[in-house]
A = this chain, B = another copy of it.
Amino acid sequence: MNLTRRDLARLTALGLVARFVPSLSASTPATKKTGYCVIGLGRIAGHFMPAVRNTTTSLIAGLVSGHRDKAERIAAEYGVSPSSIYNYENFGDIARNPAIDAVYVALPNSMHAEYSIRAAKAAKHVLCEKPMSTSVADAEAMIAACKAARVKLMIAYRCHYEPTNLKAVQLIRQGALGQVQAIESTFGFNIAPGEWRLNKKLAGGGPLFDVGIYSLNACRYLTSEEPEHISANASIIDHDGRFNEVEENVSWTMKFPSGIVASCNTTYGANMEGFYRVHGSKGWLQVDSAFVYQGLRLRADFAGTQLDELNPARDPSHFQAEAEHFSNCIQNGLEPKSPGEEGLRDMRYITQIYRSAGIAI
């Protein structure tokens, strides 16, 4: 079968290439898959790694862990060469590993800056979990290090790549709700004792850093604006040993330049669903749950339209979309939609919220 370039273009447009000319499709020279070195093999890495395996553009190429045994088991599962397993001391050796294009920083918050900067110095692109850091200064240092090393830096804001959240943003930008006036958002959970999240040195702070950041970030992407006035209250109610270092509850209000106002709550003392509701002159929309890994539901009522859409996508689809986006940026020289500067902004607002609530940061 001889196919001209024009034949191929027509078949491609019809979506028939993969179906009828698989051999030809498969033989098209592929862009090299982006190889990720996963730093920290905890809970969230357990979502990221299978997500990467589901992509056609990315693979797991290295692991960093303090537990060699665990790393070897995972390496076998993901086809990672044992020579691409590192520990926290020899991590810098990734510089000499051409299979590794990027790192995924999945460590406790306070270690994000150090490992992102070390990765940049090893000339590897950086995909860093949120919150980006535990201080504005660290976030700035991360951005500077990646700029100096000419590597890309993306903060892993899953919701920026997740269809239900994107649809909410799109409806608002299209004016479906008319003029947006106000937003409520919440996210929290009843934390178990002993979690590293309760250690201020590791976590930077309490629920605001960990889950409240979703509400903060959502208010920003839903409005496409940056808050100009922020006020907050924080508290510790349960003196049961969990909250010796970080706050239990934070409630805050924000005002955006257009006049849109937002009120948010976060907690480590109650299971508080990830939620937002946006009120506009023509109607409202809400996503509930909005920030979990699956089961996102968008409801809306505006100008005679009612929506109730449960997103059937299953975990780890958010992580897959995120990895695909960053790999695409690396492979095609594009800027990530959620660069370091996006994480830095949240760090600045988090700092303002804590200051307003009288919490030292």
Contact = CB atoms under 8 A, between A and B. Distances in A.
A208 to B, nearest CB: 12
Q: Which of A179, A181, A250, A279 has the most CB of B within 10 A?
A: A181
Given A235-B255, A263-B252, A182 B190 contact: no
A184 interface: yes
A239 to B, nearest CB: 10
A259 interface: yes
A237 B263 contact: no
B281 A238 contact: yes
Interface in A222-244: 229, 231-238
Nearest to A258: B237
B182 A184 contact: no
Interface string A258-281: 111111111101111000010111
Mostly helix, strand, loop or mixed at chain A's interface?
Answer: strand
A268 to B, nearest CB: 9
A253 interface: yes
Q: Which of A178, A255, A265 has the most CB of B within 10 A?
A: A265
A179 B238 contact: yes
B261 A279 contact: no
A349 B316 CA distance: 46
A248 interface: yes
Count copies of this chain in the complex: 2
A253 B253 contact: yes
Contacts of A262: 251, 265
Interface in A272-295: 272, 277, 279-281, 283-284
Given A259-B249, A272-B284, A284-B272, A267 B181 contact: yes
Contacts of A272: 181-182, 279, 284
A277 B251 CA distance: 14
A351 interface: no
A356 interface: yes
22 contacts: A179-B269, A181-B269, A181-B270, A182-B251, A183-B265, A231-B231, A231-B232, A232-B253, A233-B253, A233-B254, A233-B255, A235-B255, A238-B281, A248-B259, A249-B261, A251-B253, A251-B254, A251-B261, A252-B253, A262-B265, A267-B279, A271-B284
Interface of A: 178-179, 181-184, 186, 188, 190, 229, 231-238, 248-255, 258-267, 269-272, 277, 279-281, 283-284, 356
Closest 8 CB pairs of A and B: A231-B231, A235-B259, A251-B261, A263-B263, A233-B255, A237-B259, A270-B279, A181-B269
Given A231-B356, A261-B265, 10 more contacts: A179-B237, A186-B279, A190-B281, A231-B232, A236-B259, A248-B259, A249-B259, A251-B254, A251-B255, A265-B279
